[in-house]
Amino acid sequence: RMASFTTYASVRDQVNAVLALEIMGFAILLAGAFYLLNRKTAVRMALFQRESAELRDLNARLQREIAERERMQQTLAVAEQSLAQSSKLAVLGEMSAAVSHELNQPLAAMKTYLAGARLLLQRNRPDEALTAFHRIDGLIERMGAITRQLKSYASKGAEQLAPVDLAEALTSALSMMEPQLRERQVRINRVLPEGPVTVMGDRVRIEQVMVNLIRNAFDAVKSVASPEIDIILARGETAVLTVRDNGDGIEDLDALFEPFYTTKQPGEGVGLGLAISSGIVTDLGGRLTARNATGGGAVFEMQLPVLAEETRAAE
């Protein structure tokens, strides 16, 4: 049995060394943990910063876009305003062209009647002059009706429709064109059915369509050796008025009903007659069509719903 003795100090030193080592290890562990934690927060902070920078960027971009959009909206509003203004002007232009187009016919007739009346008065034939004055009176009334109708058209007021006999309307349209038709030798063949052909409509406007169709046919046969115009009225499922001429035919069927399409010389035509006429016929529930006849010349057809006997009787 051996017993060895060491000093208490050396034991304490060893214990201290072990303790110091443990403390050191613990401290290193703590420092490591701190370091890791710190790094994590730093990374997170960097991420936050990057995200907030991106957000700031996005915000700035959005603000720029909003400003841009507001500017565009202002420009658009200005453009819309000027567009509304110019479309109003265009409508006004079209309207005044239509008014002058529609008033030209009765005005030309009035001029001829007035010249005739003056001659008759000079020759001391007042009774016949009086007849001419009556006709002028009728034309003035007609012009009044056209302007009234255009006014109601502008205010989109409801129209007053009444039964109209197409045969009667045709007679009055032809009598209004009489001075013009007398200018040249044109044979006019009229084919009418027995009895009236009644449609629901506005007499002045229906006569306007007839005048426009006959006037066009009259113009189309200008350079033909033996000019002829057939006007055929028929009553079937619909009321049909056909105006056929032996002129050169229609040049451009597609553009025919477009406003301001004309092949006539300036001063002779403005290209509104057919546009207005087809508008009138469509308003009355009908159709205005055109084609070239196989034997040459143009054929215009106005179809309107025929007013049934019972309806007429009820009225």
Token pair 């613990």: residue: 26
For residue 203, which of 232, 171, 243 has the smallest C-alpha distance? 171
What does the alpha-carbon distance between residue 21 and residue 27 come to, in Å, rounded to a whole number?
Answer: 10
Of 112 and 262, nearer to ligand ADP (C-beta) is 262
Distance separating the N- and C-terminal Cα atoms of the chain: 151
Which residues share a beta bridge with 300?
243, 290
Of 142 and 244, nearer to ligand ADP (C-beta) is 244
CB of 276 to ligand ADP, least distance (A): 8
CB of 172 to ligand ADP, least distance (A): 20
Coil, strand or helix: which one is 149? Answer: helix
Of 124 and 265, nearer to ligand ADP (C-beta) is 265
Of 35 and 260, nearer to ligand ADP (C-beta) is 260
CB of 209 to ligand ADP, least distance (A): 11
CB of 198 to ligand ADP, least distance (A): 26
What does the alpha-carbon distance between residue 73 and residue 282 come to, in Å, rounded to a whole number?
Answer: 39
Rg of the chain over Cα atoms, rounded to whole angstroms, equals 47
Distances in Å between the Cα of 282 and the Cα atoms of 209, 216, 274, 276 are 11, 19, 12, 10
Q: Which two tokens mark 93?
A: 């232009």
Token pair 């006999």: residue: 165
Q: Which residues bind ligand ADP (CB under 6 A)?
A: 212, 216-217, 220, 245, 247, 249-251, 256, 261-264, 269-275, 298
CB of 94 to ligand ADP, least distance (A): 13
Q: Which two tokens mark 129?
A: 């002059």
Of 146 and 272, nearer to ligand ADP (C-beta) is 272
Of 270 and 302, nearer to ligand ADP (C-beta) is 270
For residues 239 and 206, the answer to whether their CB atoms sit within 8 Å is: no
Of 198 and 278, nearer to ligand ADP (C-beta) is 278
CB of 154 to ligand ADP, least distance (A): 21
CB of 298 to ligand ADP, least distance (A): 4
Cα atoms in the 13 Å half-sphere on the side-chain side of 144: 6
Of 199 and 250, nearer to ligand ADP (C-beta) is 250
Token pair 């936050």: residue: 48
CB of 102 to ligand ADP, least distance (A): 11
What does the alpha-carbon distance between residue 197 and residue 122 come to, in Å, rounded to a whole number?
Answer: 43
CB of 247 to ligand ADP, least distance (A): 5
For residues 165 and 197, the answer to whether their CB atoms sit within 8 Å is: yes
Of 97 and 150, nearer to ligand ADP (C-beta) is 97
Token pair 């009259």: residue: 218
What does the alpha-carbon distance between residue 181 and residue 229 come to, in Å, rounded to a whole number?
Answer: 11
